[in-house]
Each structure stands twice: as structure tokens, then as C-alpha cells.
Amino acid sequence: MIELTDVHKSFGSNHVLRGVNLSVPQGESMVVIGGSGTGKSILIKSILGLVTPETGTITVDGKDVNKGDRDAFLARFGMLFQGAALFDSLPVWQNVAFRLLRGSLKKPKDEARDIAIEKLRRVGLSADVADRLPAELSGGMQKRVGLARAIAAEPEIIFFDEPTTGLDPIMSGVINDLIREIVTEMGATAITITHDMTSVRAIADKIAMLHAGKIRWTGPVADMDASTDPYVDQFIHGRAEGPIEAVR
Amino acid sequence: MSTLLASIGAAVLGFLAAIGRLALFTGQTISHLVRPPFYGREFGNALLQIGYFSLPVVGLTAFFTGGALALQIYSGGARFSAEAVVPQIVAIGMVRELGPVLVGLMIAARVTSSIAAEIATMKVTEQIDALVTLSTHPMKYLTLPRVLAATLVMPLLVGVGDIIGIYGGYIVGTERLGFNASAYLQNTADFLEPLDIISSLVKGAVFGFIAALMGCYYGMNSDRGAMGVGRATKSSVVAAAILILAANFLLTEAFFSA
């Protein structure tokens, strides 16, 4: 269970998170929606400890994320970054097996490579991409490699930051289906942040809408369309008119 | 008047804060030296990039500088009939001063800029965040191997630069200025003292530390976007060059003031 209680985070005069409260039960796929610049990425970076909130608490299974053994804590997580964030200087297989080649989860090189190739296959990439550099891959392939890296160490919790941004609709569909399959198959807890409504419907068990630094609405994906919240209604239908200002 | 004072105060505070941040960064880097894990492969790669691949630029710079120095000393020395001191002054000039400083500045241009641009790009493309999520400390994985490699390999580069610089002077001295080859070498060897060589190598180590540290510091603290990467790269080279020259003065004072 991931739990955020009254989390605040500012950058100078920009108050990004203004008291976020959110619970994500184990094994649930939560999608956080919201406009650009509303702090969705900061929210998951706060959970990972990449950003430290000024006030509020964030716990995973009751333990404060900023206390205790960081390596053991981070070993439970996998993350797909918006731009995939692959390491340019390493071949694809070493990117995927990065965690398996060093640290507490270290495995022999051959075994790590086999696992990397298996994970690449799981995301629909053949073994012949394993020795290529990330710069030699298309955007969609890079996203899939990022996804393979996120699941390589079989984490309990996976975060997806804008998984379909910059991809064509077909590749977006492929990535959405992969995420849904992997989360279901691994029984992982997932938080996805996106403003792509197709992704939301494909990936989510539950949705939370972040607006003005707070969770505006939360509920099961099936209830989203019937929501009477004008903010949710405007967002999911992509209307320029409504309570959310189009110019931010 | 109060606005002026406020501006000066803000500038001084900003400067002190920057020194504090740099001191903290340096302390953190050094602290990782004694805390495992260590990334041997990254260290080896840094040795290769900073050391081996810098040899051509170091060699060419030192060779031409040694040759030019010989010409300058010869023409300058002719004003008071001291042309014969070319081998001695080239040797002492290259080993004590020009060798370490020029190699330091070339490394600042070649290595500091490259480290800053690489790490800054990693930062803006979230690769640094990705490292953290993969349970890898960026200071251990990126900073320590580069700083350690530069500190260890720079004395070797400076040594090579010193030798090639003296060789440049030797070529000009014997081929252009008519010095006897064996006498030139004998004068060079006789005149150099162990302290000259030690100071040269110590300067190399300090300059290597500064060059790599500045690249890492500005890379890690880069702003977003292409402008951020560009600014980090430029600032790292400027800071490294100034600090190398300042450190050179302090080390020269420490070694030779008596």
C-alpha cells in the first residue's frame, strides 16, 4: 500500500503540490491524470525520494520512504521514464540488466544477459537489438527497452511516467497493452501518470485527478465517465471550455 | 545607495553559497572513496577517456610549446649574451610551469567540457534520476570514477608532456639554433632537480582533480534544456581553468617560495 498524506512541494514561489492525499492499495493499477505542469511527475518522484516534500508523509507498506535502507527500498521499484532515460553509453541489454549487473541484485553476466533478452522478448523486441546502442532505436523501441528495464528485476511497484507521449497511436496501443499485461501478470502495484485518455482506459483500475496541487477526484475507471465533477468532465472530454483554464 | 549595497551583499552571499555548495560536493565525492560499492569498469573507462585519448593533444601542445620556448629563450637570451641557457631554461620552464599548466588547461578544455556536457545531458534526460531508481548512487557511478581517474592519470600525462616539451626544445635547439645534441641533453639532465619533477607531478594530480571535479559539479547542477547544458559546459571550463591557474600559483609558492 502506498499512502501519501498532506504532501506539499514547492519550487520557489511555484507551489506544485498543495496537500496531496492518495492511497494506492497493493496490486492496484492507479492512473493519475491532470494537465501539463500540475505536478504529476513530482508526485511519483516524491514517492521514490528523488524529490523531498516540504511537509506531509509518504509511506510504502507503512514505512516512511525517506527513512531506512534506500537500496532495499528502491529495489522494490521499477520505473519507466517519459523519455525512456536509457543510458546512451551502454548497449540495450546492459540497460535492461543494469540492476542485475551491480548492487544487491547482482547476477553473473551471462545470466543477466539472458534475463535481459527474455525481458526484451516480453516487450516484443527480438534478441538482435540487445547489442545495439539506444541511439540506434526508434522512440517506440526505446520506450519498450525502458519498459523491459523497469520490469527486469521483477519489482513489486512500477511507475510509468507518460508512457505513450510522443508515440504514434498504434505504438501507444502496444505500450498500453504491454503495461496492462505486465502489471496483471506480475501482480505489481502500478502508478501511471498520463493525460492520454486512451492509456487511462487501457491501464487503470482506479483514477486520481490532480489539479491545483491536490487530488481533485478519485474513483474506479468505470465511474470516470459518470463523474459529476466538472473538472474531470472537462479533462476527459478534452474541452477548452470549463473550470480548468486553457491558458496556464 | 541602499540598492547598491543590497546588490553587493546579494552578490557576496551568492558567491559564498556557491563556494559552500562546491565544498559540499567535493566532500561528498571524497567520502565515496571509502564507501563501497566501487565501479571498476567506470573507473577503467574514465582512465582510458581522460588519459589515453588525451595523449595526442597533450603531446602536440607540449611539443610546439617546447619548441617556441627554445626560440624565445634564444632570442631573449641573445640580448645579454645568454643564448647558451636554452636547454636549462626549457627544461625548468617545461617541468616546473608550462608542462603542468598547459596539460591542465588542455584537459580542462577537452575533459572538463566533455564530462560536464555528458552529465548535464544525462540530467536533463532523466538518466541521473534513472540511476537513482536503479539503486545506483550518481556520485559513486559518475563522479568518483572520473575524479579519481583524472587525479591518478594526470601526473602521467604531465610527465609525458614535460618530456615531449623538452624534446620540442631539443629539436629546435639542435636543428635550428645549432646546439650540440649530446651537450643539450647533458645540460637538461644536469640542471633538473628531483623537486622540479615532484612539483610537476603533484601539480598534475591537483589539476586533474580540479578539472574532473568541475566537470562533474557543473554537469550535476545543470539547468534544463540545451541552454542549461551549454551553460554548464561553459561554466565548468571557465571555473576549471581559473582554479587550475590559482592552484598553480599556490603550489608554486608552496614548492619554491624559499
pLDDT at A217 over 80: yes
pLDDT at A248 over 60: no
CA dihedral of A108, B140, B120, A192, whole degrees rounded to 10? 60
pLDDT at B118 over 90: yes
| Whole-number pLDDT of residue B243 | 97
B-chain residue closest to A69, CA distance: B135
β-strand partners of A214: A211
Query: What is the pTM for the complete model shown?
Result: 0.89
Mark yes or no for CB contact A81/B39 under 8 Å: no
Nearest-CA neighbor of B163 among B71, B70, B58?
B58
Distance CA B143, CA B202 (A): 21
| Whole-number pLDDT of residue A205 | 94
Mark yes or no for CB contact B130/A70 under 8 Å: no
Estimate to the nearest angstrom the gap between the alpha carbon of A32 and the chain centroid: 9
Could you give the 3-state DSSP secondary structure of residue A44? helix
Q: Does a structural domain hold residue A208?
A: yes
Q: Does a structural domain hold residue A169?
A: yes
Radius of gyration over alpha carbons of chain A, in Å? 18
Which of B125, B135, B136 is nearest residue A85 as measured by Cβ atoms? B125
Give me the phi and psi of B247, to 5 degrees please: -65, -35
Interface contact A68, partner B, CB < 8 A: no
Which residue range(s) make up the domain with A57?
2-87+156-237
pLDDT at A5 over 70: yes
Which residue range(s) make up the domain with B175?
41-256
Distance CA A82, CA A79 (A): 10
pLDDT, average across residues B167-180: 96
Distance CA B88, CA A220 (A): 84
| Whole-number pLDDT of residue A166 | 80
Q: Is the peptide bond before A163 cis (omega within 30 degrees of 0)?
A: no
β-strand partners of A10: A15
Q: Does a structural domain hold residue B36?
A: no
Mark yes or no for CB contact B130/A99 under 8 Å: no
Domain CATH for A232: 3.40.50.300
Burial of B250: CB neighbours in 10 Å, binned 0-12, 13-18, 19+: exposed
Interface of B with A in 9-38 (CB under 8 A): 37
pLDDT at A246 over 70: no
Distance CA B220, CA B214 (A): 10
Distance CA A189, CA A192 (A): 10
The set of residues, in sequence order, having a beta carbon less than 8 Å from that of B214 and lying 6+ positions away, is: B108, B112, B116, B236, B237, B239, B240, B243
DSSP A48: H
Q: Does a structural domain hold residue A146?
A: no
Mark yes or no for CB contact A74/B135 under 8 Å: yes
pLDDT, average across residues B228-240: 97
| Whole-number pLDDT of residue B258 | 64
Interface contact B127, partner A, CB < 8 A: yes
Distance CA A58, CA A21 (A): 9
Is the Cβ–Cβ distance between B229 and B222 less than 8 Å?
yes
In the predicted model, what is the mean pLDDT of chain B? 95
Summarised one tens digit per residue, pLDDT across range A117-153 is 999 998 889 999 999 999 999 988 999 999 999 999 8
**Which DSSP string corresponds to A191-229?**
EEE-S-HHHHHHH-SEEEEEETTEEEEEEEHHHHTT---
β-strand partners of A11: A14
- What single letter denotes the amino acid at residue A128? D
pLDDT at B123 over 90: yes
Q: Does a structural domain hold residue B34?
A: no
Q: Does a structural domain hold residue A103?
A: no
Estimate to the nearest angstrom the gap between the alpha carbon of B153 and the chain centroid: 11
Q: Does a structural domain hold residue B107?
A: yes
Summarised one tens digit per residue, pLDDT across range B156-165 is 999 999 999 9
Q: Which helix (H) or strand (E) holds B108?
A: none
Interface of B with A in 137-176 (CB under 8 A): none
Residue A175: which pLDDT band, with cuts at 50, 70 and 90? Answer: confident
Q: Does a structural domain hold residue B89?
A: yes
Chain B nearest C-alpha distance from A41 (Å): 12
Q: Does a structural domain hold residue A176?
A: yes
Interface contact B39, partner A, CB < 8 A: yes
Q: Does a structural domain hold residue B215?
A: yes
Could you give the 3-state DSSP secondary structure of residue B176? coil
- Length of chain A counted residue by residue: 248
A-B contacts (CB, under 8 Å): 50
The set of residues, in sequence order, having a beta carbon less than 8 Å from that of A200 and lying 6+ positions away, is: A31, A33, A194, A207, A221, A224, A236
DSSP A241: S
Could you give the 3-state DSSP secondary structure of residue A12? coil
Is the Cβ–Cβ distance between B63 and B165 less than 8 Å?
yes
Q: Does a structural domain hold residue A177?
A: yes
Is the Cβ–Cβ distance between A237 and A227 less than 8 Å?
no
Would you tell me the crossing angle of helices B40-50 and B144-175 to the nearest 10 degrees? Answer: 20
Residue A68: which pLDDT band, with cuts at 50, 70 and 90? Answer: confident
| Whole-number pLDDT of residue A104 | 79
pLDDT, average across residues B124-135: 94
Distance CA A248, CA B110 (A): 42
| Whole-number pLDDT of residue A123 | 87
Q: Does a structural domain hold residue B46?
A: yes
pLDDT, average across residues B131-138: 93
Q: Does a structural domain hold residue B8?
A: no
Burial of B154: CB neighbours in 10 Å, binned 0-12, 13-18, 19+: buried
Contact list, A45 vs chain B (CB under 8 Å): 129
How many independent structural domains does chain B possess? Answer: 1
Residue A19: which pLDDT band, with cuts at 50, 70 and 90? Answer: very high
Nearest-CA neighbor of B159 among B199, B125, B193, B189?
B199
pLDDT at A173 over 70: yes
How many independent structural domains does chain A possess? Answer: 1
pLDDT, average across residues B127-133: 94
Q: Does a structural domain hold residue B33?
A: no
Mark yes or no for CB contact B136/A75 under 8 Å: no
Q: Does a structural domain hold residue A6?
A: yes
pLDDT at B88 over 80: yes
Q: What ipTM was predicted for this assembly?
A: 0.88
Q: Does a structural domain hold residue A202?
A: yes
Contact list, A50 vs chain B (CB under 8 Å): 129, 132-133
The C-alpha cell at B91 is 627544461
Distance CA A130, CA A152 (A): 14
Summarised one tens digit per residue, pLDDT across range B1-59 is 788 999 999 999 999 999 999 999 999 999 999 988 899 999 999 999 999 999 999 99
Inter-CA distances, B70 with B64, B66, B159, B199, B240, Å: 10, 6, 19, 22, 28
Mark yes or no for CB contact B136/A81 under 8 Å: no
- Length of chain B counted residue by residue: 258
Summarised one tens digit per residue, pLDDT across range B46-83 is 999 999 999 999 999 999 999 999 999 999 998 988 88
